[in-house]
Chain A
Amino acid sequence: MSDVATKPAVPAMPLGRTVAAYLSDAKWESIRLFRTPAFSIPILAMPILFYSFFGIVLAGKSNIGELANNLFVGWTVYGVMGPGLFGFGILVAVERNQGLLTFKRALPMPTGSYLASKLMMAYVFAVVVMAMLVTIAVSFGHVTLPMAILVRMAAVMSVGVIPACAVGLFIGAFAPASSAAAFANITYLGMAFLSGLFFPLSGFLHSIRSVWPTYHLSQLARASGGMTSEGEPLVHVAILAAMTAALVALAARKLSRRG
């Protein structure tokens, strides 16, 4: 009974195959969610419908200049946050419940691929949403900014996928599967309307607007597009990073406690 017990060999996993496994997981996660109408339709259609409705139809002729630009930023931030928030918030809670996570943990899935694939999925969805919003903005949105600037702003806003995933992961880790969707929706609305994305806030709500990641993201986007903005971009980035780290740490603790 030597402790130098012969370790029966398992073939080594070349780095290339590990990378390929991460990419494959990301691909299938994206494909399955594009094929799941309950996820893909609201995530893709809502920002586009809202932007078209509020930003173009309702705003009508008054929708010019700074206001048009504001609406573009607001709805793009809204659209970018959705996939991460719901992709993590609802799916993690549901999959935790369904035993899919258990099965994946029994498989030699690369460490972190479960979350990485969802992050990449959220990014893919966010890029699709942004591409459509930029197209609408340029075609009908009366925005005064040139296409190149809009694309640059969208690229900056895509950073928001990461804090959105962190918020979602936090919800997914703590909320029961049955109510995760409700928590995600409430959080989504809070992030959209209490951070001053669409209308000016006053009083108490104004003073706490910076607790929402959407506030920092929209300020970053405005700064990158040369619009009026509050605060220092680097500070916004630091705050977003800190929020992300804190939420992920809390969620990780909860998820690992479950064994």
Chain B
Amino acid sequence: MDAEGDGALAQLKGAKKRYGATTALDGLDLEVRPRELLAVLGPNGAGKTTAIALLLGLQQPDAGEVKLFGRSPHDLTARRGVGVMMQEVMLPDALRVGDLISQVRAYYPDPLSFDEAVALAGVEKLVKRPYIKLSGGQKRQVQFALAICGRPRLLFLDEPTTGLDVTARETMWATLRRLVKDGASIVLTTHYIEEAEALADRVVVMAKGRRIAGGTVSEIRSLVVRKRVDCVTAVALPTIEAWSEVIAAVREGDRTSITATEAESVVRRLLAADPKLSELEVRRAGLAEAFAELTQEPAAQEQRT
């Protein structure tokens, strides 16, 4: 375990939050360290957004501790170090994009210059347009500009790339990498596993208000021992399924996909049974598979980071 919280930019300790009968957070520990991109993954209702709302001081925990820059998130000084992009937000319709950026910049002690903020978010072409006239994806880009324009040391992004086209997403990814390189920390919740895979220094997987796993992307992947074996083979599906290492096997067209606890012995058996086997491919489960498996069984033992 690392020394809890020392130097952490933001921290939840044993945070609990209920909404009526629903438990949104059930004793969540979470900390954001300097210069890291932390991806928080989890299915809908896992408590990701609630965790961020607590860290921003938008909601009060029923139990547990919340710290932002070592202070209460209600402290204006703490929030001056934070930029935020929320999942659902309405901005004043009648203002132009440039107006909104100017207005939000004014809240921060040492913001980016207007032009820097606009360029980093890739919204140069939108500056003069009324916010209300923008498409959903463009609005997300503008919200991203508002999140970064204050030169925050800590950035909370709640599903930032939802609705973005490929180019806009690439731009945002590049900017996120650059911000971390320049010393910022980022907390990113996402549904896109590949986003966490591409960007995250560290991943926390949540389910049912709890943290069920945490670590680097490869650590999370390795939590799941399953392997994928794909090939074109004449061996009958029931035969494959009967092998002890095989968890599941499916056939689509002429292609067979096998999920197994161990790849080597499955491959040995396959080759022995079918010398004409072709297009053999073996890979370790990706983060997506790991994620699916982990969230299926939230009771899985707590993994240390």
Where the two chains meet, the residues of A that have a C-beta atom closer than 8 Å to any C-beta of B are: 1-2, 5-8, 10-14, 17, 20-21, 24-25, 28, 31-33, 35-36, 98-100, 102-103, 105-111, 259
Contacts and interface: CB of A to CB of B under 8 A. Distances in A.
Given A8-B70, A25-B106, A109-B107, A100 B94 contact: no
Interface in B70-114: 70-71, 76-82, 84, 86, 88-95, 99, 102-104, 106-110
Top 6 closest A-B pairs, CB basis? A7-B70, A10-B81, A98-B90, A35-B94, A24-B106, A32-B94
B204 interface: no
Given A99-B86, A100-B92, A106-B79, A28 B58 contact: no
A6 B7 contact: yes
A103 B94 contact: no
13 contacts: A5-B6, A6-B70, A10-B69, A10-B78, A10-B80, A10-B109, A13-B109, A17-B109, A100-B92, A103-B89, A106-B84, A108-B108, A259-B59
Nearest to B151: A11
A31 B69 contact: no
B153 interface: yes
- Of the listed residues B76, B88, B93, the one surrounded by the most CB atoms of chain A closer than 10 A to its CB is B76
Given A13-B76, A259-B60, 5 more contacts: A1-B3, A13-B80, A24-B102, A106-B56, A107-B104
B214 interface: no
Interface in B91-146: 91-95, 99, 102-104, 106-110
B160 interface: no
Contacts of B58: 102, 105-106, 259
B59 to A, nearest CB: 6
A7 B84 CA distance: 20
A108 B82 contact: yes
B4 A1 contact: yes
Contacts of A111: 76
A111 B57 CA distance: 14
Nearest to A8: B69
B302 to A, nearest CB: 19
Nearest to B79: A108
Contacts of A6: 6-7, 70
A32 B92 contact: yes
Contacts of B90: 98-100
Contacts of A103: 84, 86, 89, 91
Nearest to B10: A8
Contacts of B76: 13, 108, 110-111
A108 B56 CA distance: 10
B77 A10 contact: yes
Contact of B9 (A8, A25, A99, A105): A8
Interface in B39-85: 56-60, 67, 69-71, 76-82, 84
B153 A8 contact: yes
A13 B75 CA distance: 13
Contact of A11 (B57, B71, B91, B110): B110
B150 interface: yes
Nearest to B56: A106
A92 to B, nearest CB: 13
Given A11-B110, A103-B91, A24 B103 contact: yes
B34 to A, nearest CB: 7
A23 to B, nearest CB: 8
Contacts of A100: 89-92
A20 B106 contact: yes
A120 B97 CA distance: 22
Contacts of B60: 259
B86 A102 contact: yes
